[in-house]
Amino acid sequence: MSEPVFFPPAARISLADIVACTGAAVVEGADLSAIVSGVALLDEAEPGELTFLDSPENAMLLETSRATACFVTPGDAPRVPKSTLALVINAPSRGFALAMRRLFPLAIRPKSLFGTAGINPGASIHPEARLEQDVIVDPGVVIGPRAEIGSGSIVGANSVIGSDVRIGRDCLIGPQATITHALIGDRVILHPGVRIGQPSVDFGHAGIALAPHGPPWTPGIGRVIIQDGVEIGANSTIDRGAVGDTVIGDETRIGNLVRIAANARIGRHCVIPAFAEASDARRA
């Protein structure tokens, strides 16, 4: 059985290309014509591959590295062996990430897992739903009445888009996601299993007092507003507002298994790690 290669590198990327896209400094007169074949961790890198030094504790590994080039801070540059080109940059991990984006463009934006082009006949789309051109819909998807999805967006297998939901352009909705009561901007990525727009079940949210004979069911009448460029990790949940909206600001990144409670307002360019919880009393 052959070994699959899920993310083949782009063809013919040289060290000169890596220096140009990362802004790393190199010694004067360095030969930048070598072709980069891949990336690896510091202790696993082979000739042709890029690596980086992420912490001083790993400095001993640097001295025996076989990598073609290594991202390092100015202070660590003297420790790079002669066979390895030092790519000097203040934040080696950031330089490495930029290089990976240049080397593996197919890994930046996920595609339809089913390989669908257009709307798969196994999807169930309400006749009142509106999909712009170039929307990809995988098998098993359900899209409700008056839902709207912008061009270039992908809806993964078995996802459910509720009535009146708005999804912008160039979005990726991963498999098994559910979206209700939500307005979603452009370039949003929802990883598999994300739940958007369900009511909170924490009883007593939004400052509503509980009845003396047990918790009442409080209907959430708000929405979820997810602005442009947001990415939400697998199996995270974003509750709709109880009274008002739950808002996720532009370019925010939310990890896996995160819960955003009703009426929470997360600002722009925030990073929320996996397993975190944000309530309506916490505004990031």
**What integer pLDDT is reported at residue 160 of this predicted model?**
98
pTM: 0.85
212 within domain boundaries: no
- Rounded-to-integer distance, Cα 80 and Cα 92, Å: 13
82 within domain boundaries: yes
Buried b (16+ CB within 10 A) or exposed e, 182-203: bbbbbbbbbbbbbbbbbbbebe
52 within domain boundaries: yes
CB 221 within 8 A of CB 204: no
**What integer pLDDT is reported at residue 206 of this predicted model?**
47
45 within domain boundaries: yes
**What integer pLDDT is reported at residue 109 of this predicted model?**
76
For the chain, list residues with pLDDT below 50.
205-206, 282
47 within domain boundaries: yes
155 within domain boundaries: no
pLDDT tens digits along 40-85: 999 999 999 999 998 888 888 998 999 999 999 999 999 999 999 9
61 within domain boundaries: yes
Tell me the CATH number at 92.
3.40.1390.10
- Rounded-to-integer distance, Cα 79 and Cα 71, Å: 12
Nearest residue to 248 via CA among 169, 172, 201, 189: 189
Residues 6+ apart with CB under 8 A from 45: 39, 51, 65, 66, 67, 68, 70
Structural domain boundaries, residue 57: 15-107
Provide the Cα torsion 277, 280, 283, 284; round to 10°. 20
**What integer pLDDT is reported at residue 6 of this predicted model?**
87
